[in-house]
Amino acid sequence: MNRSLLRLSRHPRGRAAPHRLLRRRVRDIASGAEGELMAVIHENVSDSVLREHWVELAYVRGACGREFTTAAANIEPAEGQDPGPARGSAYR
């Protein structure tokens, strides 16, 4: 059996995490890129079967339509954006 498939089958899938900026315009402080926060997922980013390393990754869709990831701690409201919950958001 392919080792990478075996490793993937042992790790549970990431879970979506609620975030106050979900569906809002955000800025990645590491790169300066802006876009809409689409999701925050709790993912195991370890390359080892023996040791897990869980992080919260933010998925941001840029103006061009492509999504990029960054640490959830690296996002902030974009200039002029209210940091409150999005309208219609289930997470308040």
38 backbone φψ class: left, alpha, beta (φ>0; ψ -120 to 50)? alpha
Give the start-to-end residue ranges of the domains of the chain.
3-77
Supply the DSSP symbol for 35.
E
CATH of the domain spanning 3-77, picked from 2.40.128, 1.10.3470, 3.30.70, 2.30.30: 2.30.30
What are the tens digits of pLDDT across the range 6-44?
Answer: 333 333 457 787 889 999 999 999 999 999 999 999 999
For the stretch 52-86, pLDDT in tens is 999 999 999 999 999 999 999 999 999 876 665 55
